Chains A and B, each alone.
Chain A
Amino acid sequence: MTGCQFARLIAQRRDRIVAAAFPGLVSEADVSRVFETGTDTHLPAFAVFTGIRTETALIEQLSVLARGSRWRITREHPAGLITDDVLIGVEWQIGNGCASSVMGLAPFATMPVTRRAPYVCLAAWPGGHDNPYWTRYDQDIVHFLDTDLTALKLTTLKYRSLTKASKAASELLLTDLGDDARYYRRVAFRLQGAAAESLRDVVVSG
């Protein structure tokens, strides 16, 4: 669980996400096809990689994505985080002039607890700045805070209370381990330090 109350609401109701499962190593075009379907349907898109079980396999998949013109894999260095781990960001060009900052989930011990899942997963909001409550956005990049929440029919009061509950829940999940959600705003994956060498040709500086 990410602790995000909005994600919980989106996942609980029908017709609110596009999901795809990939059994093995997949071309960047196929993952783009799934995200494009999210753009077309105006829904968050999730690509689940059921064939990826190890960091090595994930790095192989990231290197395939990095070869595509719409994908950008970055090395991130969040302020205040001292670690030997390698933090990786993933961006996907939507085609509306914006890139989507993609969220990663994975079953690895290095991942923050709020981003652990049974399978490796890339999740993105592939639309525009469609959340009227979120105004402090970066012009050229969207992420889940920009998701169109119209279908949830939230009042301003409810939006604020869900935001507060989301922050509290993720803080509760992370603070025991001395971790912090702010480190992961642009981070899709947190991998072991040993992964740095294999990622040398995959990442561009963040």
Chain B
Amino acid sequence: MFTMPTTRRATTPKPPRRSRKRRTITIEEFDRDRSKAIAAARKPGGVDVVDSTGKLRFYMVIPRGTLPEIL
């Protein structure tokens, strides 16, 4: 009987993808060192800007990939 060749399945499951580390800077750091904030925003995943209690003020990103066409 003729059978089509199939690709061999991996016997071990793929390890779960590690969640990307979210960078965080405080609003004080943001104001003190804007270039550091910009560098963090340029990294994959962007940066969370938080207040002194750790509460999220905003999330900023200078994306490196293609954006969905929202404009």
The answer, yes or no, to whether B58 is at the interface (CB within 8 Å) is yes
Interface string of A1-32 (1 = CB under 8 A from B): 11010011011111101111111001000100
Which residues of A have CB within 8 Å of B59?
20-21
Residue of B with least CB distance to A3: B71
Number of A-B contacts (CB under 8 A): 73
- Interface size range on B against A: 20 to 34
Return the contact of B62 from the options A11, A23, A43 (Cβ within 8 A). A43
Return the contact of B61 from the options A4, A19, A118 (Cβ within 8 A). A19
Interface-centre pick from B37, B65, B71 (highest chain A CB count, 10 A): B71
- Contact assessment for A11 and B58 in the assembled complex, using a CB-CB cutoff below 8 Å: no
Return the contact of A118 from the options B58, B65, B70, B71 (Cβ within 8 A). B70
- Residues of A near any B CB (own CB < 8 A): 1-2, 4, 7-8, 10-15, 17-23, 26, 30, 33-34, 36-37, 40-41, 43, 105, 117-118
- Residues of B near any A CB (own CB < 8 A): 27, 30-31, 34-35, 37-38, 41-42, 49, 56-67, 69-71
List 18 contacting pairs A-B, 8 Å CB cutoff, sorted by A: A1-B69, A11-B67, A11-B70, A12-B67, A12-B69, A18-B61, A20-B60, A20-B61, A23-B58, A30-B49, A30-B57, A33-B30, A33-B31, A33-B58, A37-B37, A37-B60, A40-B34, A105-B70
